[in-house]
Amino acid sequence: MSDVIESLAPRRIAVCVGSGGVGKTTVAAALALSRALSGGRALVCTIDPARRLANALGLASLGNVESRVPQHQFRAAGLEPRGELWAMMLDVKRTWDDLVARHAPDPVRRDRILSNRLYQQMSSALAGSQEYTAMEKLYELATDRDYDVIVLDTPPTAHALDFLEVPDRILDFLGNETARRLLAPALGAGKFGLRLAQLGGGYIARTLARFTGQDALADLGDFLQGFQGMYQGFRERAAAVRALLSRPEVGFVIVASPSAASIEEAVSFHERLRAEAMPIAGVVANRVTPELWPAPTPLPDAADVEAALLARGEPDGALAARLAATLGEHQALAAADRRALERLFALGSTPRAVVPRLETDVHDLAGLARLAVRL
């Protein structure tokens, strides 16, 4: 059962991936907690805008800076960690600003980017911005801090694979050759507040302007021009992040629940990680209905249960019928889950964990510790 924890033990970075609603955030927190309990200095970082991690850790809130889960929280949960548990939530805007500050050649260029309207919108509106900054933050944490393990929760993507594609997309946006070519005549001008008249006025630029309006296009030109000298820095950084993710000290943990959609996502993610030679540390099947009845034996009917109750000296026909019906329903769900998992576990010899649907929601440290035992 502890296959996944064991497989993560020698690694410094764990990245939890999977579709929304599978309990990824809680699994990430449980993995970090497990390391903290056994003496490590563990950090869990979430990028989930719904802020569920703070909730699970019993913290009022999480910010862009790591905060340590206080001892008294552990004591209240009956836990005695030998290590430390830290948690944080990614602030997308701040991380972007830090990136710009790091790569800008001078303060003037930095401020020009920071005050650009498109840039200000980008941190929240650019699809994949969360994923990109998450990777960036992970790199920073992995290189600048001395945690024994960093567990990264990932945003609930509509398509799990977006996560891997996004850095390329963002880089293409920042260093977009098309845009450069379109806006080329103006880019050389080195002025702010470009007007379309300066954009060469080519057919394509004119048509685009019918869409966006002149000023929006000028904003974009200004933005791209601001980024021009910084692009190389971004590109190198992204390459470094990518290299980090392929190192054996990293382990991807694929989290799935036994729904068809979630399993499909998990399978395609697994294939993709394999194809990219990225290290997979394990597959977690979460919220699985446990089997209570051996498969080939026919389920008991109300009379069978009634007889057993009678033998126990507690005759109750009405209760027996409800018990039999409840077991039947339970087993129908268990059978559906088992079939779903067959597909997931046909993936090969990856370490795996099956976490039964826990009797309570995992919403505090004690619950996380119970979950960790199953991993």
Cα atoms in the Cβ-side hemisphere of radius 13 Å centred on 253: 38
If binding is defined by CB under 8 A, does position 169 make contact with other proteins? Answer: yes
The type of residue at 97 is D
Angstrom distance (rounded) from CA 52 to CA 59: 10
Contact 261, 19 (CB under 8 A): yes
**Residue 202, SS3 per DSSP:** coil
Among 57-65, 101-109, 258-266, 277-285, the segment contacting other proteins (CB under 8 A): 258-266
Neighbours of 92 (CB within 10 A): 23
* Count of residues in contact with other proteins, rule CB under 8 A: 82
If binding is defined by CB under 8 A, does position 60 make contact with other proteins? Answer: no
Two tokens, residue 108: 């003037």
What residues between 334 and 363 interact with other proteins by CB under 8 A? Answer: 335-336, 339, 359-363
Pick from 15, 17, 126, 151 the residue near other proteins by CB under 8 A: 126
Taking the least distance from each CB to other proteins, the nearer of 19 and 133 is 19
If binding is defined by CB under 8 A, does position 38 make contact with other proteins? Answer: no
Angstrom distance (rounded) from CA 327 to CA 291: 10
Taking the least distance from each CB to other proteins, the nearer of 13 and 92 is 92
What residues between 263 and 302 interact with other proteins by CB under 8 A? Answer: 264, 292-293, 297, 300
What residues between 225 and 254 interact with other proteins by CB under 8 A? Answer: none
Q: In what order do the strands lie in the sheet with 13-17?
A: 67-68, 84-89, 41-46, 149-153, 13-17, 250-256, 280-288, 352-356
Tell me how far, at minimum, the Cβ of 136 lies from other proteins, in Å: 17
If binding is defined by CB under 8 A, does position 20 make contact with other proteins? Answer: yes
Angstrom distance (rounded) from CA 9 to CA 250: 11
Tell me how far, at minimum, the Cβ of 92 lies from other proteins, in Å: 11
The residues with which 253 forms a beta bridge, in sequence order, are 16, 282
If binding is defined by CB under 8 A, does position 77 make contact with other proteins? Answer: no
What residues between 300 and 329 interact with other proteins by CB under 8 A? Answer: 300, 304-305, 308-309, 312, 314, 319, 322-324, 326-327, 329
DSSP 8-class letter at 40: -
If binding is defined by CB under 8 A, does position 17 make contact with other proteins? Answer: no
